[in-house]
Amino acid sequence: MIQRASLDELMTLVDPGKVLTDAASLEAYGKDWTKHYPPAPSAIVLPRTVEQVQAIVRWANAHKVALVPSGGRTGLSAGAVAAKGEVVVAFDYMNQILGFDAFDRTVVCQPGVITRQLQAYAEEQGLYYPVDFASSGSSQVGGNIGTNAGGIKVIRYGMTRNWVAGLKVVTGTGELLELNKGLVKNATGYDLRHLFIGAEGTLGFVVEATMRLDRAPRNLTAMVLGTPDFDSIMPVLHAFHGKLDLTAFEFFSDKGLARILARGDVPAPFHTPCSFYALLEFEASTEQVADEALATFEHCVAQGWVLDGVMSQSETQLKNLWKLREYLSETISHWTPYKNDISVTVSKVPAFLRDIDAVVQAHYPDYEVVWYGHIGDGNLHLNILKPEHMSKDAFFASCARVNKWVFEIVERYNGSISAEHGVGMTKRDYLGYSRSPEEIACMKAIKAVFDPNGIMNPGKIFAPE
């Protein structure tokens, strides 16, 4: 625990009332959406300026206090959980959009800008910020950068990394670095900007980000297609990929659909029962594109890959179809799911899923398994739901035992144990299934350069030594 005198000193570094130690704040700011670790921070500090962030980091070095960055706390790998008396640095008061350049199509954000705020701002300029996911109403830009957030439009637009034109970061020694300065072309050696993207705050804190925007999409249209089995989804993807410029290609299982329909506030897409469903989206910018989509749909039906389908005819229908996929995470959170976020190259998905599913069936015969994910990116979310009668600890322990077999398959397919949720604490013990010992040694050496005293989000990505 931190000495009273150190906390008093911390209070002098920020605005009055911006160090919180009450039980409710410690509980709220000490956790993210994972339920694995009870939050136990010593204090929460809310800086307003870059200079205040630098002062906090210098204070933490002087007092050997660990810092945990906190954005919207929507993470799913416990990357922003403070479970060991750390001080949480929350960016809620650094939440302004500082500038916009129509010519460069860039917008300068403080780290606490909410993703949806950035999307809405882009829309007001007639442009588009394309990184999108179900938690965009709470997640913050700094957190998105820290985890290199992906989401539902990666097939067309890529991950957050693609949209970061420049960064200002405060390193683990309190230095301010300005990285890439918004440039499109910059061949001046190592691009340090990219080291901080996806680093989960272990090297330093993002204090300003210049984000790129794109042209607004035209007449987005979604289709939901029901397939008889998982294997049929891939030829459907292949057929549509060849014909249309897809902006999304997602999937979910019949169990996922059943959970969504049980909510009672989302209409069924159609009534033919199917084992799996694909949700695809494209810009129907001309009538020919819509005709092409329908012709491809008919081809898929004729091949026996698709049993039924629907295409949105209005903005409301588009939104309703997306709810089938976007509401899944929140809907199943009621059953305290054990989550896996695994990926392989798209061509390997069918064999990979078959192997994983065999392990899952053999070891979790009594648990309900809900599959969904970004199949067009090779990213599958394997969610195992906790039976009502079972304690959380017993359930997580039994799921963790099976991880070994799941991750051995991931390793065999040259896949990733975390495609988009990050490593945090929940996946740190499995990092070796995706990264070689030599790579991990390089990563640790890089951390030592930016954070020599190991105060920046320790225990995340790497297990404590």
Binding site for ligand MLT (CB under 6 A): 133-134, 328-329, 381
> What's the token pair of residue 12?
């002098």
Shortest Cβ 34–ligand MLT spacing (Å): 11
211 C-beta neighbours (distance < 10 Å), count: 26
> What's the token pair of residue 3?
């000495």
Helices (H), 64-140: 115-124
Shortest Cβ 319–ligand MLT spacing (Å): 16
> What's the token pair of residue 303?
């091949």
Shortest Cβ 133–ligand MLT spacing (Å): 6
User: Do the bridges between strand 276-283 and strand 220-227 make them parallel or antiparallel, or are there none, so unpaired?
Assistant: antiparallel
Which one, 227 or 329, has the nearer CB to ligand MLT? Answer: 329
Which one, 134 or 349, has the nearer CB to ligand MLT? Answer: 134
Shortest Cβ 140–ligand MLT spacing (Å): 16
Distance between first and last Cα of the chain: 20
> What is the spatial distance between Cα 291 and Cα 295, in angstroms, rounded to a whole number?
6
Shortest Cβ 332–ligand MLT spacing (Å): 8
CA distances from 46 to 16, 94, 173 (A): 10, 9, 19
Shortest Cβ 255–ligand MLT spacing (Å): 14
Which one, 109 or 419, has the nearer CB to ligand MLT? Answer: 419
Which one, 253 or 329, has the nearer CB to ligand MLT? Answer: 329
* Inter-residue contact 60 to 454 (CB < 8 Å): no
Shortest Cβ 422–ligand MLT spacing (Å): 11
Q: Looking at 22-105, which runs of residues are DSSP E strands?
A: 43-45, 67-70, 87-90, 97-101
Shortest Cβ 78–ligand MLT spacing (Å): 14
* Inter-residue contact 419 to 343 (CB < 8 Å): yes
> What is the spatial distance between Cα 339 and Cα 344, in angstroms, rounded to a whole number?
17
Which one, 134 or 203, has the nearer CB to ligand MLT? Answer: 134
> What is the spatial distance between Cα 130 and Cα 163, in angstroms, rounded to a whole number?
9
Shortest Cβ 233–ligand MLT spacing (Å): 16
The CB-nearest residue to ligand MLT is: 329
Which one, 148 or 329, has the nearer CB to ligand MLT? Answer: 329
How much of the chain is helix, strand and coil, in % rounded to 5?
40, 20, 40
Which one, 207 or 257, has the nearer CB to ligand MLT? Answer: 257
Which one, 134 or 236, has the nearer CB to ligand MLT? Answer: 134
User: 4-11 and 50-63 helices cross at what angle (nearest 10)?
Assistant: 160
> What is the spatial distance between Cα 194 and Cα 7, in angstroms, rounded to a whole number?
33
Which one, 56 or 399, has the nearer CB to ligand MLT? Answer: 399
> What is the spatial distance between Cα 165 and Cα 150, in angstroms, rounded to a whole number?
17
434: exposed, middle or buried (Cβ count in 10 Å: 0-12, 13-18, 19+) = buried
